[in-house]
Amino acid sequence: MTLSDPVMFLSLLVFLPALAALVIAFLPRDNTEAIKFTALGVTIFTFILTLGLFRSSADGVDFQAGVARMQDLFAVSWIPSFGIQYFMGLDGISFPLVVLTAFLSVLAMGASWPIKKHVKAYCILFLLLETGMLGVFMALDFFLFYVFWEVMLLPMYFLIGVWGGPRREYAAIKFFLYTLVGSVLMLIAILMLYFHSDLTRLNPAQLADAGIVPIDVVGDEAPSESEIQAAYDEWLASDDALAAQLTAAAESDAKTPVHTFNILALQQMGQHTDLFDGEMWMGQTIQWWAFLLLFIGFVIKVPSVPLHTWLPDAHVEAPTPISMILAGVLLKMGGYGIIRICYPICPQAGYDLAYFVCAIGVISMVWGAFAALAQNDFKRMVAYSSVSHMGYVVLGLGVWSMGTWANGSYNADYWKMGVNGAMFQMIAHGISSAGMFFMVGVVYDRVHHRNLNEFGGLFAKMPVYSGLAVGIFFAGLGLPGLCGFIGEVLVVLAVWKYSYVLAIISAAVVILTAAYILWAIQRVYLGAEYKGPHGEALTPITMRELAIASPLMALAVILGVYPNALFRYMQPSVDHQVEQLAAWTEQYDANQAEVQQAFRGEARQVVLTDALSD
């Protein structure tokens, strides 16, 4: 067991912050500098570990660009009686988010320097939070995912509730209850799916795709059937607990199902079997309900209108670094859940509810933009801009834009564009919104107010800061050459193929976005005089602040000018998933057409028996 083993490497990556939190617990309470530096060192080391994945090595742990499948996959049996595994891995969808999380954690820890109260507890909770966030993005076992989800929730509650502003308790409880409702809905859906899952229904190839049958593959080449069969036989013969279970289930006559929490296996079941197609309640299928519950759970996190009101309060009350994490990482978990769990596991529900999902996205975009325009609190305005920007993510993930090529085959290119755009937007928003919150924090630390109407003239007093701030706000505005533009334009261009009405509404948001951001810039940075209190405290940006702001600005420019820097890691996996869903849709549409034809031919009975025996 060395670091070149994925189990060790990824576990270290996830649990290092938690271990460090444990170590900090034993440090003396008064030595705040040492505690802060330890915490910062740990976040930096964690970030370096994620960077280590970029290095390509023959035998070690790495993340290869241009590969669609899960990489560095490992599974360790955890609670065998429920088929729960310690199962993690990375692909193009999760890897960028993991890097973003580690990166923003470093910056947020750097931004935590002005924290004076209970530094020790703060650092412990912060590091626990990082473990939770990293774990959510890497976990591939539903149970593990849920555990990490909750682990992340609790430190956040305390970080807002203890270190927040004047209404911190209200905000923290609101955040907690909202998220808890989401968690409960998610838990119900997880159990629903668990009890309807059955590993015996998957064939060897699907088991291999689900990461259950270990198989050596190089690059993105699909293994041949014989290779899969050989690997499968070898696996069945091994002393793997799951293999034994499957063998037992196959041998017994009772057809006992083998349940699983394996997300990849659930995806295979959702797409290739009818396990989740049974009717559940009110004429809807299991997967329809599971999708809805999961979607609501995730969309609370995104957050989308009308489940978004926790966000402005949480942001306004949270301390600056926590706002950065909240906007930069936590909101992404919602989007990540939708793309990783909702769609691949419940494709039919996604297909049926696509318009609903897109409409939620568009409403959030418009709603958030209008609400941002009305705010007088700087941070609240930025918070609402997050609601608006994350609407693009939901919209992009939701577009089920299937076109057909001239020869009648399915054309998923626009769909790929939408989903890739949404994923890009998640990363871009992680950068720009974290930057915006930090920029607000910088002035708040100096003048202790956030009233937009009591600023002005900051350009003269803090020129470097103002330049960077305006740059980052423009990234949020979606200016070409900066990261915000790519995601927005890809999503908006892709939507027309699905629904031109939604496309037109979403395109109109660019006007509102420009309005609220430019107006805020005018009120804060431009003008002749500072209008608020503590004008003397407006000192130029410090080196520490510069060190936090400039990487964000640099990343915003790099991703805006050369988006392939991100797409080369992300796109293969996203494309692969969309292709699978497209294949599923093609199959589904063909079946539907067949069924309809059969109905027309008054061969109802035949079809039903066919369908039952299928």
Partner 1 sequence: MDSSWLPTLLALAWLTPLASFVFILFFGKHAGPHGRFAGTVATGAIVFSCVLSFVAMFGAWLPNNELPEAHHGDHAAGGDHDEHAEDGEHADEADHETFIRPAASPFLLASSGGDRGTISLVADTAEGEGDSAEHHIAPNGKPPAVYGVFYNLVTFGKLKLDISYYIDALTVTMFCVVTLIASCVHFYAIGYMHDELHEPYTDHEVTLTDGTHLVRKGRFYRFFQYLSLFCFSMLGIVIAGNLAMAFVFWELVGICSYFLIGFYIERHSASTAANKAFIVNRVGDFGMLIGMMALWSSLGTFAFGDTQNDQGEVTEPGMFSVLRTEENHYALAPTESMEVEGARVVGEGEEGESSHAGQWLLLIAGVGVFCGCVGKSAQFPLHVWLPDAMEGPTPVSALVHSATMVAAGVYLTGRVYPIFTPEALLVIAVIGCITLFVAATIAITALDIKRVLAYSTVSQLGYMMLALGIGGWSAGIFHLITHACFKGLLFMCSGSVIHAVHTNDMSYMGGLRKKMPITAYTMLVGCLAIIGAGIPTSMYGLSGYYSKDAIIEQAWSFAGANRGNPLLSILLIAPVIGAAITAFYMFRLWYMTFAGEPRDHHRYDHAHESPRVMTMPLVVLAVCAIAIGWSVPGTNLSITSLLEQAQPVGTTPGAEGVLAENLVVPAEQLSHVKAVKIPAGWAAFSAAAFGVLLATIIYLWRMLNPAEIRDSFKPLYAFLWNKWYFDELYDLIFVKPTHWISGLIAKFDRGIIDGIIHGTAATAKAAASIVSNVGDRTLVDGTVNAFANRTWDFGLMLRRLQTGSLRTYVLAIAMGTWITYMLVSFIMVARGTG
Segment 375 to 404, residues that bind partner 1, using CB under 8 A: 375, 403
Query: x/- binding map, residues 8-27, to partner 1, per CB under 8 A?
Result: -----------------x--
Q: How many CB atoms lie within 10 A of CB 443?
A: 23
Selected from 7, 493, 558, 583, the binder of partner 1 by CB under 8 A is 493
Could you give the C-alpha distances from 220 to 223, 300, 347, in angstroms and in order?
A: 9, 35, 24
Choose between 45 and 146: whose C-beta lies nearer to partner 1.
Answer: 146
| Positions in 300-319 near partner 1 (CB under 8 A) | 306, 308-309, 312
Size of site (CB under 8 A) for partner 1: 78
Distance CA 317, CA 314 (A): 5
Q: Is 274 in the site for partner 1 (CB under 8 A)?
A: no
Write down the residue that tokens 């995806």 correspond to: 267
Q: Is 573 in the site for partner 1 (CB under 8 A)?
A: no
Q: How far is the CB of 119 from partner 1 (least distance, A)?
A: 13
Q: How far is the CB of 513 from partner 1 (least distance, A)?
A: 8
> Which residues lie closer than 8 Å to 538 by C-beta, 6 or more apart?
443, 446, 447, 458, 461, 462, 530
Q: How many CB atoms lie within 10 A of CB 407?
A: 6
Choose between 6 and 398: whose C-beta lies nearer to partner 1.
Answer: 398
Q: Is 465 in the site for partner 1 (CB under 8 A)?
A: no
Q: Is 495 in the site for partner 1 (CB under 8 A)?
A: yes
| Positions in 49-78 near partner 1 (CB under 8 A) | none
Q: How many CB atoms lie within 10 A of CB 239?
A: 6
| Positions in 181-240 near partner 1 (CB under 8 A) | 187, 191, 195
Choose between 43 and 571: whose C-beta lies nearer to partner 1.
Answer: 571
Selected from 27, 40, 154, 595, the binder of partner 1 by CB under 8 A is 154
Q: Is 286 in the site for partner 1 (CB under 8 A)?
A: no
The number of C-alpha atoms within 13 Å of 379 and in the hemisphere containing its C-beta is 29
Write down the residue that tokens 């933009």 correspond to: 369
Q: How far is the CB of 158 from partner 1 (least distance, A)?
A: 6
Q: Is 121 in the site for partner 1 (CB under 8 A)?
A: yes
> Which residues lie closer than 8 Å to 292 by C-beta, 6 or more apart?
349, 353
Choose between 92 and 204: whose C-beta lies nearer to partner 1.
Answer: 92
Q: Is 416 in the site for partner 1 (CB under 8 A)?
A: yes
Choose between 267 and 571: whose C-beta lies nearer to partner 1.
Answer: 571
Q: Is 299 in the site for partner 1 (CB under 8 A)?
A: no
Q: For residue 230, with 0-12 CB atoms within 10 Å meaning exposed, 13-18 middle and 19 or more buried, which class applies?
A: middle
DSSP-derived secondary structure letter, 1: -
Selected from 111, 133, 330, 417, the binder of partner 1 by CB under 8 A is 417
Could you give the C-alpha distances from 318 to 157, 172, 175, 445, in angstroms and in order?
A: 10, 9, 11, 13
> Which residues lie closer than 8 Å to 554 by C-beta, 6 or more apart?
none
Rounded to the nearest 5°, which phi and psi values hold at 359?
-65, -40
Choose between 63 and 384: whose C-beta lies nearer to partner 1.
Answer: 384
Choose between 205 and 258: whose C-beta lies nearer to partner 1.
Answer: 258
Distance CA 551, CA 431 (A): 9
Q: Is 571 in the site for partner 1 (CB under 8 A)?
A: yes
Choose between 47 and 415: whose C-beta lies nearer to partner 1.
Answer: 415
Could you give the C-alpha distances from 207 to 46, 65, 199, 458, in angstroms and in order?
A: 32, 24, 8, 60
